[in-house]
Structures are given as structure tokens and as C-alpha cells.
Structure 1
């Protein structure tokens, strides 16, 4: 079993900082509306419900946006689905994933793949385009990468972070609006301040997201015992995404194995590290 002390420490740090944001929100609500038991219960239930809704709706929206369908158990045409199921079962056994994730297939318009859900109830979606593009050992690396996300439970911290970022933005916006003159100008300024506050939290969440991609790459290389195949897969996927638009857009972009490349400023807000750095890490 591969240990990830760096990931664990970052997740602990992420959880601590997100808790501070959450505590600040709760404190603001208490100071504004009172500190009674009913208010405390409402805040806790409301925040938990909001996170739960985002988790469930986000998973459903991601699968629906790409038109994902259950992957057949047997080969169909040029797609050897049976072999993919077999490889997934073997990887799950080596990773200690007791429940094999649901496998789905979709036509995304680009070669890509993503995972949603938690350990014990995860789903891995593979595009037909990526199956057409990659050699099987490269595709196996992609499968291992997505299973690593489920195994490392890093999706949970991402959902929590995005939820708290949304709540911070909403609270800042309405705190400004309700505390001001409540006119059109204060409404728009409140929206701007709320967006800035949400962006500040998301910068932190994006940094964690980029690190978890490195960890998933490392896991894929370790469990398939073939880092070069994983590196080649990233090279081909990056080339295959050039000048093409992915079905589902931003709904699934953050979840996919490839999230695009950009300049220095764009990378600051990216959920994925530069592909060339991921390849370099695999080959080092």
C-alpha cells in the first residue's frame, strides 16, 4: 500500500482552514441572528444539507452532462469492455478497494476520464475517444489514476471546499447588502465582494486539487508498475484534447484526468498541474 503522508498533511491543513472559514460563517450568523439552540441547529443542518445536496447533485450532473451509460460486461465491436472490467477488479484488489466502482462509458468529444463518488460507492467514466487513442497498458494507467482518487477519498475535501467557498461568497454578499443602504449599487457591489471572497477560498481549494493529481499519477504508476505508460497516456491525452471542446464543459472538467493547460495566471486557478510537469514527475 502506497503511503501519502504529504497528501494526508495537506488534507488535514485543508480541513483545518476550511473549518476556520466555516466557524467564521457560523460566528457571523450567531452575531446577526442570535446564539440560541434553534439558530445553531439551523446553521448545522443547513450547512450539512447544502454540502450533501452539492455532493449528490454534482455527481448526477457530471454523469448526465456527458451522457454516461453503464459499461457492458462483454466486448462490443472494437471495445474490449470485458478486459476493462477485469483490470478494474484486479486494481481494486491491489488497492484495497472492497467494492468495485461502477464503470460507465461516454462519448465526450475528447479523450478523457473521470471519477465521482466515494470509496464504496464510486463511479469511473471512460470516454470512447480515450479507448480509441490509447494502448491498453496506457488505458490501464488511466483506470488506476481514477481509482486512486476514489481510494484516497480526496473527492470529499474538494466537495467540502467548494461548498464552503460558495457559502462564504453568499454570506459576504448578503452581509454587505443587508448592512448597507439596500439599493442597486450596494446589491452589485455586494455581488462583487461575494465573488472575490469565494475566489479567495477557491484558490486554496485549487491548490489542493492540483496536488491530488500528482498523487493519483503516482498511485497509477505504482499499482500498474508502469510509470512510462502513464506518462505516454498523459502525452496522448493532452495532444488529443488540442482544439477540441469536451462535452459537459466545466461541469466535469475539474474531475477529469486532463483539465487543460494555460499560462501562469491561468494555472493559479486551475484544478490540474501543467501536463508537462506531471509527465516529468512520472519519468523522474
Structure 2
């Protein structure tokens, strides 16, 4: 694992007064590894920098140094397929709500985990449930505060679904750990990248691929009714890639099979690795 600037054997290094542990005061990234290569690593680190700025957290090392350490971490662990998880907390200090004094240093932790590709689910599709979006109003920052996401994901698991699709009132935002796209009349719709969603790295790449495929994408809000009436629905996320959603709650989407446009997007994304 990576602990600050050292790669070392995994140990129990949690300090009870780490602000990430007590307040969720930190940021994180999850990076997919395919055939030993961290996919879109630069984009993930760029987003980490943005998250740090938004929560007034000074990263303890340069992005170039962090990139090199993560690449080294993958090599040391001989990871072929899986993820890198990394987080930076504001550090360990006396438990007070305000920021600690300047002599407290942020803490960086990263590790790798082997995970197979979800090829079968991507090919066959999956189901989802709907639930109210109860998160805070800065979902664009990738912070450690994930309890609402955890509760939503648990609801999905208890209903044998892959994801919980979130909505604020009638407006669909995203899912507990992924972005949501719908297809209507051969055009794609997805919630705009504002404070109500996380602008996923896979989401960004899918938008680029759609442009290359001459698929029209509308970054606009849409309703639960639009979602349920859509010809196709798919979700995107790191290592989840592109998964067709065939049913939401008890409502079948389109033909109940992966749609033509979703399959085009999936094949284009697979060409990246």
C-alpha cells in the first residue's frame, strides 16, 4: 500500500483522530486498472486536485509525484485487473470541527485490489431501483461523506439490483455510485454536470465517445417518467464501465434487452483498453 510518500506492506495505520475517520474530512478517487494499466489516470488526478481545491485541502505532494507512486504501486502489487483506491484526509488532530492548525499534515493512503471485468453483466444488462436523493448539495466534490450513497446501494442489493437510481423530487440525478444515461428517439440524455452529480471520469469519456460516434447527447435534466418511458437506459462508472439497465423497480425499459445505442457505446469504451 501507499502511505504518504512510502510504499509498504499493508498495516493498521488508522489514527483514531484522523479527520477522514471522524468527519469524512477528505477526498478520494477510484481508478480502474486494465491489463496492468491505470485507465484515465491523469483525468482522475485532475479531479482529485479539483476536489482538494473545493474543500480547501492542500495536497501533500505534487500530482506528478502521486502519479508515479500509483504506477509504482500497481507494478509492485503485480495488478493486472482491478482498481486503485486512494484517499487524502486533512490529517490527524484533536477532534474539533474547525480545520486543524497548519502543523497538521494531510494523510494519503492508497491500495490496489484485484477485480475482474464485469463483461457478463455488461453484455446481458441488469436491474435498478429508484430512491430519493438525500445527499448534500455539493455532489460534484468526491468526498469521503458517502453514507447516503451506502444506504441507497444497500436498498439496491436488498432488491437484487445492481444500482439505486436517485431522484430529487421528479428529477433524476445519478445513481448511488454511477452516472445515468437514457436514450429516447435515438438521442441520449444525461443530467448536466453541476453540483447535483459527480462528473464521472467514465461519464466524461462516454460523452467524448458519443461525439466520435455521431450520437447526439443532451446534457439536460429529465424526469422519472422520462426514465421509465426511455427506449434504453445505461449507467457508467469506473470499472463498471457501461451497463444496460433493463428494468427499474418493476418497470421494463424498452424491449427489456440491451439496446442498439447502449451496445455501440459499450463497444467503443471497450476499445480503450
Q: TM class, shorter-chain normalised?
A: under 0.3
Scaled by the length of structure 1, the TM-score of the pair is 0.23
- Which has a greater percent of strand? 2
- Which has a greater percent of helix? 1
Q: Which has the higher contact order (CA 8 A, sep 6+)?
A: 1
